[in-house]
Structure 1
Amino acid sequence: MAEAMEVVPEFGDVRDEEQLDWGKLAAYLRGKIPGADAPMTVKQFRGGSSNLTYLLRFDDREWVMRRPPFGPLPVGGHDMGREYKVLSRLWEVFKPAPRGMLYSDDASIVGAPFFVMERRNGIVIKNREPLPVELGNDPATFRAISEGFIDTLADLHAVDYAAIGLGSLGKPDGFLKRQVTGWMGRWEKAKTREVPLMEKLGAWFLDNIPASPPPVLVHNDFYLHNIMLGAFNHGDVVGVFDWEMSTIGDPLVDLGIAIGYWRDKSDPPELVMTSYGEAHTLRRGFMTRDELVHRYASRTGRDVSGIPFYWAWAHWKTATVVEQIYVRYVRGQTTDPRFALMGPMAPALAFAAAQVASRLGFKE
Structure 2
Amino acid sequence: MNDAEAPAGELDMVALSAWMQEQLADGLAGGLAGPLTARLIAGGRSNPTYELTDGTRDWILRRPPYGEILQSAHDMSREATVMGALAGSAVPVPHIVGLCRDKDVLGADFYVMDKLVGRTLRTAQDTATLTPEQRGALTESMLDTLVALHEIDPADVGLADWGRPDGYLERQVKRWARQWHTIKTSERRQIDEVVEMLQRSMPITKFPGIVHGDYKIDNLYLDADDPTRILGVLDWEMSTLGDTLADLGTLVSFWDEIGAFHNPITAGATAHEGFPSAQEVVKKYADRRGISIDDLEWYIVFADFKIAVILEQIHARHVAGTTVGDWFDDIGGMVGPLLNRSHERAVRAGL
1:304 equivalent in structure 2: 293
Question: 153-162 vs 177-186, which deviates more?
Answer: 153-162
Whole-angstrom distance in 2 between the partners of 1:151 and 1:181: 31
Q: Does 1:330 align with 2:319?
A: yes
Match of 2:215 among 209, 222, 245: 222
Task: Give a deviation string over 1:207-246, Cα, whole Å, max 9, x none.
Answer: 1110111311110011111111211222111111011110
Q: Does 1:339 align with 2:328?
A: yes
Contact 2:5 2:37 in 1 (8 A): no
Deviation at 1:73, TM superposition (A): 3.1
Deviation at 1:332, TM superposition (A): 1.0
Match of 2:226 among 225, 233, 244: 233
Contact 2:258 2:272 in 1 (8 A): no
Whole-angstrom distance in 2 between the partners of 1:161 and 1:48: 27
Question: 208-217 vs 173-182, which deviates more?
Answer: 208-217
Whole-angstrom distance in 2 between the partners of 1:129 and 1:189: 33
Matches within 5 A, 1:80-91: 80-91=76-87
Q: Does 1:70 align with 2:66?
A: yes
Matches within 5 A, 1:14-163: 14-16=5-7, 19-33=10-24, 34=27, 35=29, 36-38=31-33, 39-126=35-122, 128=123, 130-131=125-126, 136-163=129-156
2:4 equivalent in structure 1: 13
1:197 equivalent in structure 2: 190
Task: Give a deviation string over 1:287-311, Cα, whole Å, max 9, x none.
Answer: 1101110100000112221211101
Task: Give a deviation string over 1:135-163, Cα, whole Å, max 9, x none.
Answer: 73421111112221122111111112111
Residues 193 and 141 of structure 1: is their aligned pair in 2 closer, same or farther, counting only changes over 3 Å?
same
Residues 55 and 137 of structure 1: is their aligned pair in 2 closer, same or farther, counting only changes over 3 Å?
closer
Deviation at 1:72, TM superposition (A): 2.5
Instruction: Report sequence identity in percent.
Output: 32
Unaligned runs of 5+ in 1: 1-7
What's the TM-score, normalizing by structure 1? Answer: 0.89
Deviation at 1:179, TM superposition (A): 0.4
Deviation at 1:19, TM superposition (A): 2.1
Whole-angstrom distance in 1 between the partners of 2:152 and 2:297: 25
Contact 1:55 1:65 in 2 (8 A): yes
Whole-angstrom distance in 1 between the partners of 2:124 and 2:5: 21
What's the TM-score, normalizing by structure 2? Answer: 0.93
Deviation at 1:95, TM superposition (A): 4.2
1:173 equivalent in structure 2: 166
Match of 2:176 among 177, 180, 183: 183
Whole-angstrom distance in 1 between the partners of 2:245 and 2:252: 10
1:5 equivalent in structure 2: none
Runs of 4+ in 1 over 4 A off after TM superposition: 15-18
RMSD over equivalenced CA pairs, Å: 2.0
Whole-angstrom distance in 1 between the partners of 2:280 and 2:8: 43
User: Which amino acid is 1:146 matched to?
Assistant: T
Whole-angstrom distance in 1 between the partners of 2:198 and 2:217: 25
Residues 336 and 43 of structure 1: is their aligned pair in 2 closer, same or farther, counting only changes over 3 Å?
closer
Contact 1:141 1:235 in 2 (8 A): yes
Deviation at 1:281, TM superposition (A): 1.2
Deviation at 1:359, TM superposition (A): 3.5
SS at match of 1:13: coil
Residues 146 and 17 of structure 1: is their aligned pair in 2 closer, same or farther, counting only changes over 3 Å?
farther
Unaligned runs of 5+ in 2: none
Contact 1:101 1:115 in 2 (8 A): yes
Contact 1:88 1:101 in 2 (8 A): no
Whole-angstrom distance in 2 between the partners of 1:46 and 1:143: 27
